[in-house]
Amino acid sequence: MGISVEGANKRFGDFQALDDVSIDVPDGSLTALLGPSGSGKSTLLRAIAGLEDLDSGQVTINGEDATGKPAQKRGVGFVFQHYAAFKHMTVYDNVAFGLKIRKWDKAKISTRVHELLQLVQLDGLAGRFPSQLSGGQRQRMALARALAVEPQVLLLDEPFGALDAKVRKDLRTWLRNLHEEMHVTTIFVTHDQEEAMDVAGQLVVMNEGRVEQSGSADDLYDHPANEFVMSFVGEVNRLGDGFVRPHDMDVVLDPDENTEEAMVQRIVALGFEIRVEFVLADGTDVWAQLTRAELQKLELRQGQIVYLRPGTTKSFSGDSPPSGDGASTPRHPQGGDDAEVTAAA
Amino acid sequence: MGANTASRWGLRALGLGYLTMLLLIPLVMIFYKTFEDGIGPPLDAITSPDGLHALKLTLLMVVIAVPLNTIFGVGCALLLVRRKSKANPVIDAIINLPFAVSPVVIGLSLFLLYGTGGWFAFIGENGIEILFSVPGMVLASIFVSLPFVVRETVPVLQEIGTDQEMAASTLGANGWQTFWKITLPSIRWGVAYGVVLTTARVLGEFGAVTIVSGSISGQTQTLPLFVEKQYANFNSTGAYGASLVLALLALVTLFAMNLLKRKEDA
């Protein structure tokens, strides 16, 4: 059950949007498709919805082969980044659209629409037109519209991408709660790793039309399959052949055999978190994430020479991200497990 | 600030003066000349059998050509915008032909095609008169007014994008339902503007219709042809009166459209 895509390929001219992609989304889960722009995540979502035809591959929704079925028969709810509000209809008529198409009777439609407007906290605004709503309200209306027809799966294409930071955060929490109540299988596309980790239980990281890795947020953060996943999911410094998270960088004032000399370039206070930027002797830029207390203890200032002791350093054998073999399962570097090297070892 | 205001007023005066000289004064003159000797003479000309026939024939052209060009125009715009094809630029260029070619040339080409020895002459030989009768005039009217709806609809279709249509399809609407409930309401003002322009063009068409109709009084004379004939026969009051009726018809179309729009916005 749930959604599965098998060996999906899609090409736009010279551009390979999807390169033999396979994913499995468990029934009732909330999954994020995460990747930079052009990674194929939106194309994959649209292919699941039937808004894009695949060159090859199979889409299965709740055990039923949906490949080649038109969008209108797939039973999906789709939410667009720019809302796709029906501008000439009121909020009420927008939400009622799918029900009118299904020829529900008027009284039933009215009950259902008001129920949904209550759910998305728009019950006072049924008579408004989309142009009279804020971005956040429009997107909630679009969600109500998608949910009205009781879709088997809910697909959201960068649903919060066009909203400002505060509204985005509120809607994230709201979507997570909504999913906990409704338990409809949901996939949402985002390029924001924080958003993906905040909302979704399962993440699928995509790059250049391929799936790089899928798993829980902890999995991806602690055991990234390759350089791409490591640098896309969370922040990263590159030290020689290895990678280290900024919060794994110890700043000390006295050197030992595991430290490297560095000069403080810039200290940026971001509330509780302090970002300290360094330049190493070989010219590499790195940064460390410190707490306010740590900074005060060290009394760092610009231009000061200090010593960095990197904690857990990861290295990935070969050039990554790997490419060209067309495999779509989560990749692990040669030798099975990721190589973990601690600086002290 | 002062210089700014002065230049703004200067520009306004210039624009208004230009429009007055070129558009307003000639139209006001027609109005004045029509009623110079009272309402009687122009009314007589219009209500003469030939005048009434011309009016009816003109309205008939509108009633046939405008719906046909509207249906074709919307369909063609959808094809051009929503179905990407290598043939699109060619279709686009062909649609612009009536703009580029003089109406007289259009009339002549129809004459050559349907006249004796033409490729489609057999239609006339088999009992359906095209030239010097209503079918030929309808053909000419459709030809000259064909691009307006397409030209007005294409940019609006491009602007609304496909998101709303895709949203409708995920909500269960088929292509036909999506067109009627989503696409058409979204492009309606573009289409309406195209309809107004088409109507105005059909009402006023002279060159192409003159050639294919032969301008026979009481038979194949539309209002513009009637105006010209009256004028040539030194009945200038009749000509002015008929002109005024033409102008009023165009104004009514415009006002009807404005009224609809205002009702919608309210």
Closest chain A residue to B187 measured between Cα atoms?
A88
Residue A78's nearest CA partner among B52, B167, B84, B191 is: B167
Burial class, A166, CB count within 10 angstroms (exposed 0-12 / middle 13-18 / buried 19+) = exposed
Contact B167 A51 (CB under 8 A): no
Nearest residue of B to residue A142 by CA position?
A: B167
B contact test, residue of A12, A69, A72 with most B CBs within 10 A: A72
Decide if B172 and A102 are in contact by the 8 Å CB cutoff: yes
| 3-class DSSP assignment, residue A4 | strand
**Beta strand segments in A1-132, E:** 3-12, 15-25, 30-34, 56-61, 64-65, 76-79
Of all residues in chain A, the percent with pLDDT exceeding 70 is: 92
How close, in Å, is residue B242 to chain A by CA atoms? Answer: 41
The segment with the largest mean pLDDT, out of A105-114, A257-266, B107-116, is A105-114
**Cα separation of A223 and A181, whole Å?**
31
| One-character DSSP codes across B189-243 | HHHHHHHHHHHHHHHH--HHHHHHH---TTTS--HHHHHHHHHHTT-HHHHHHHH
Report whether A187 contacts A33 (CB < 8 A): yes
The mean pLDDT of A170-190, rounded to a whole number, is 90
The position carrying tokens 């390929």 is A9
Are the C-beta atoms of residues B150 and B194 closer than 8 Å to each other? yes
Name which of B163, B166, B172 is nearest A149 (Cβ-Cβ).
Answer: B172
Of B172, B181, B186, the CB nearest to A72: B172
Instruction: Decide which of B125 and A231 is more confident.
Output: A231
CB burial of residue B205 (10 Å; 0-12, 13-18, 19+): buried
* pLDDT in the model for residue B1: 54
Tell me: the pLDDT tens digits for B77-101? 999 999 888 999 999 999 999 999 9
Are B253 and B58 contacting, i.e. CB atoms less than 8 angstroms apart?
A: no
Instruction: Give me the mean pLDDT over the A219-243 stretch.
Output: 87
Q: How far B148 CA lies from chain A's nearest CA (Å)? A: 24
Find all residues with CB under 8 Å of B11, minimum gap 6, and list them: none
pLDDT tens column, B215-230: 888 889 999 999 999 8
Residue positions counted in chain B: 266
Residue A196: which of A222, A161, A154 has the closest Cα? Answer: A161
**Per-chain mean pLDDT for chain A:** 87
* B246-263 per-position pLDDT tens digit: 888 988 888 888 887 777
pLDDT tens digits along B31-60: 888 888 888 887 888 888 989 999 999 999
Chain A residues within 8 A of B168 when measuring between CB atoms? 86, 97
Which residues in chain A are closer than 8 Å to B167, comparing Cβ atoms? 78, 80, 84, 86, 142, 145
pLDDT grade, residue B128 (50/70/90)?
A: confident
Q: For residue A228, is pLDDT > 60?
A: yes
The encoded tokens of residue A260 equal 């490297």
- Tokens matching residue B71: 């249906």
A31-77 tens-digit pLDDT: 999 999 989 999 999 999 999 999 999 999 999 999 989 999 999 99
Q: Of A261, A211, A165, A170, give the one whose Cα is nearest residue A33.
A: A211
Chain B residues with CB inside 8 Å of A49's CB? Answer: 170
Nearest CA in chain B to A93: B181
Chain A closest-CA separation from residue B51 CA (Å): 44
Whole-angstrom distance, CA of residue A74 vs CA of residue A62: 10
Q: Output DSSP code: residue A29.
A: -
Contact A184, A106 (CB under 8 A): no
The answer to whether A101 faces chain B, any CB pair under 8 Å, is yes
The shortest C-alpha distance from A201 to chain B (Å) reads 25
- ipTM of this complex prediction, to 2 decimal places: 0.80
Dihedral angle at the C-alpha atoms of A207, A212, A213, A217, nearest 10 degrees?
-30
Q: Do A87 and B177 touch (CB under 8 A)?
A: no
pLDDT recorded at residue B116: 80
Count of all residues that appear for chain A in the document: 345
A132: DSSP letter: G
Tokens 């520009």 appear where?
Answer: B11
Q: How many CB atoms lie within 10 A of CB B132?
A: 17
Q: How do beta strands A339-342 and A249-252 pair?
A: unpaired
A214/B23 Cα distance (integer angstroms): 70
Interface of A with B in 133-152 (CB under 8 A): 142, 145-146, 148-149
Query: If you write DSSP's letter for every residue of A297-319 in order, what string do you get?
Result: HHT--TT-EEEEEE-EEEE-SSS
What is the structure's pLDDT at B28? 87
With residue A103 as reference, give the H or E element that holds it: none
Name which of B82, B156, B169, B170 to mutate to probe chain A: the one with the most chain A Cβ atoms within 10 A of its Cβ.
B170
- CA distance to partner chain B, nearest, from residue A157 (Å): 12
Nearest to A145 among B171, B173, B186 (CB): B171
pLDDT at site A343: 40
Q: Find the mean pLDDT for residues A162-175.
A: 87
The DSSP H or E segment spanning A124 is: none
Please list every residue in chain B whose beta carbon sits closer than 8 Å to the beta carbon of residue A95. Answer: none
Tell which of A42, A48, A78, A82 to mutate to test the B interface (max B CBs under 10 Å).
A78
CA angle A298, A237, A214 (to 5 degrees): 130
Model pLDDT, residue B125: 78
Whether residues B163 and A86 touch (CB distance < 8 A) is answered with no
Distance, in angstroms, between A341 CA and closest chain B CA?
49
Task: Calculate helix-pair angle for B147-160, B88-95, nearest 10 degrees.
Answer: 140
Which pLDDT does position A338 carry in this prediction?
A: 43
Above 50 in pLDDT, residue A320? no
Given a cut of 80, whether residue A344 has pLDDT beyond it is no
Residue B185 has pLDDT above 90, yes or no: yes
Please tell me the distance in Å from B83's CA to the nearest CA on chain A.
14
pLDDT of residue B266: 60
Nearest CA-CA partner of A328 in A16, A50, A65, A64: A16
- The answer to whether residue A295 scores a pLDDT higher than 80 is yes
d(CA B44, CA B130): 32
pLDDT above 90 for A271: no
pLDDT for B214 beyond 90: no
**Cβ–Cβ of A87/B186 closer than 8 Å?**
yes
CB-closest option in B164, B173, B186 to A72: B173
Q: Does the pLDDT at position A339 exceed 70? A: no
Q: How far is A304 from chain B (nearest CA, A)?
A: 55
Q: Which residues of B touch A51 (CB under 8 A)?
A: 166, 169-170
Task: Give the span between the Cα atoms of A243 and A235, in whole angstroms.
Answer: 10
> If DSSP codes are grouped into helix, strand and coil, which group holds residue A200?
coil
Q: Hey, what amino acid is at A146?
A: A
Nearest to A254 by CA among A309, A294, A295: A309
Cβ atoms within 10 A of the Cβ of B82, count? 12
Region B192-208: mean pLDDT is 92
What does the pLDDT look like over B54-68, one tens digit per residue?
999 999 999 999 999
Q: List C-alpha distances in Å: B96 to A177, B101, B142, B150.
A: 56, 9, 13, 10
Rounded distance between C-alpha atoms, residue B55 and residue A341, angstroms: 94
How near does any CA of chain B get to the CA of A112, in Å? 15
Residue contacts between A and B (CB atoms, under 8 Å): 60
What is the DSSP code string of B101-135? S-HHHHHHHHHHHHSTTSTTHHHHHTT---TTSHH
Confidence of residue A318 (pLDDT cuts 50, 70, 90): low
Residue whose pair of structure tokens reads 């624009």 in the numeric block? B15
CB-CB neighbors (< 8 A) of B169 in chain A: 50-51, 70-72
Q: Which residues contact B208 (CB under 8 A, 6 or more apart)?
A: B103, B104, B106, B107, B110, B140, B141, B143, B144
In whole angstroms, give the CA distance from residue A162 to residue A166.
12
Using a CB–CB cut-off of 8 Å, the residues of B that contact A are: 163-164, 166-174, 177, 181-182, 185-186
What was the pLDDT predicted at A321? 45
Mean pLDDT of chain B: 90
